[in-house]
Amino acid sequence: MSPTSNGPTTPVPTPAPPCGPLPAPDHRHRWTITGAVVGVAAAVLIGWWTLRNESARITATTVSYQVLDNASVAVTFDVTRPPGQPVTCTVQAIDGHFTVVGTADIVIPPQGERTVHQQLTVRTTNRAVTGVVQDCVRT
């Protein structure tokens, strides 16, 4: 043996050929593009659905209330609804124990602005400490 030799050498085994045909190189790219198209379409659909529902949404915001006496409370509120949509709102008077002591409904006609300002006096069975809009629904 020569001084530079480290001993007998063994041949490196060659890997076995793969079983079956290899997929075409663009096969993975096709799935990537398909996934991207589906993802973009889903994002557009979700955005459209959100905007559509937002424009059809009915919201009511209590602006103020005033306890007039032991038998009534005046509630001022704003209602936003789809244009041309009649809405019925339920307004409640509540006492210091969080008990509903009066309820009244008001129908807001379809004409007018998208957001309307309303005031309603609710008759009560006991003295109320607050008045709130419970909900507003399509009529």
Q: What is the side-by-side order of every strand in the sheet holding 130-138?
A: 100-108, 87-94, 130-138
Could you tell me the CATH number of the domain that includes residue 76?
Answer: 2.60.40
pLDDT band of 71, cuts 50, 70, 90? very high
Average pLDDT in the 68-94 region?
A: 94
Same domain (yes/no): 67, 123? yes
pLDDT band of 83, cuts 50, 70, 90? confident
Average pLDDT in the 111-115 region?
A: 85
DSSP state of 96: T
Q: Is the pLDDT of residue 4 over 70?
A: no
Q: Which of 41, 56, 71 is the last residue of a domain?
A: 56
**What pLDDT shows up at residue 2?**
53
Structure tokens at 138: 């399509």
Helix (H, G, I), strand (E, B) or coil at 40: helix
